[in-house]
Amino acid sequence: MSNIVFQGPAGRIEAKFFENKDNPSAPIALVLHPHPMHGGTMNNKATYKIYESFAKNGFSVLRFNFRGVGHSEGSFDNGEGELSDAAAALDWIHNLKPQAQQIWLSGFSFGAWIAMKLIMRRPDIDNFITVAPPIGNPDYDFSSFNLCPTSGLVISAELDDIVNPNDIETFLKQVQRVENAKINYAKIPNAHHLFTEHLDQLGKLLDQYIKMNKTKNM
């Protein structure tokens, strides 16, 4: 794992990057962290678990601090600037790994919202994983995610006191999918929003889904 810095729309962005140096065409993944104004950073435990799961499965994977977090320059921008940061980060890793066989996008909580917005703007994304997306919270608009363009996995926590899993389930039932796109859904029993006591269960779900859906000729 390397500490890196790349240029974002608001200045320098601090990041961690794991590179699969043995396979130039290994799939790539980007992982987005929770809300910057509530202590969210790229070192959040659930965010790291997602990052670790991709690395264990042979991906080159990037996680980074949104603008104004850690050593990333800029200041919080209510989601719009953070969406631009995520787009720049995806460009960075894709430019570095142009031969990648797949592109995956992932995020936790606020990061899941940003990921689901970016999915709608990037037809090159092959698969996604979002954990505890804040669906049902009036501060987050998910209306753009009205025709899911690619397959993915959505994970919720049964005892989440921030994101109601019932709101997530209702939303996913209503979302239209393009042909062959499938949204998988899993709920971790007894888990709370941060998954603090259930990171192992989260990791098992992630590992299972990634193994089943990553490119088969790695």
CATH of the domain at 193: 3.40.50.1820
User: How many CA atoms lie less than 13 Å away from 141 in the CB half-sphere?
Assistant: 5
What pLDDT is stored for residue 112 in this prediction? 98
The whole-chain average pLDDT of the chain stands at: 96
- Is 218 within the bounds of a domain? no
Q: Are 172 and 154 in contact (CB under 8 A)?
A: yes
- Is 102 within the bounds of a domain? yes
- Is 119 within the bounds of a domain? yes
**Model confidence pLDDT, tens digit, residues 81-123:** 999 999 999 999 999 999 999 999 999 999 999 999 999 999 9
Placement of tokens 């239209």 in the chain: 176
- Is 9 within the bounds of a domain? yes
Judged by DSSP in three states, 77 sits in: coil
What pLDDT is stored for residue 218 in this prediction? 53
**Model confidence pLDDT, tens digit, residues 168-197:** 999 999 999 998 999 999 999 999 999 999
What is the distance in angstroms between the CA of the first residue and the CA of the last residue of the chain?
20
Nearest alpha carbon to residue 53 among 129, 118, 163, 115:
129
| Structural domains in the chain (count) | 1
Confidence of residue 26 (pLDDT cuts 50, 70, 90): very high
Distance CA 86, CA 130 (A): 14
The domain in which residue 165 lies consists of: 2-213
pLDDT at 125 over 60: yes
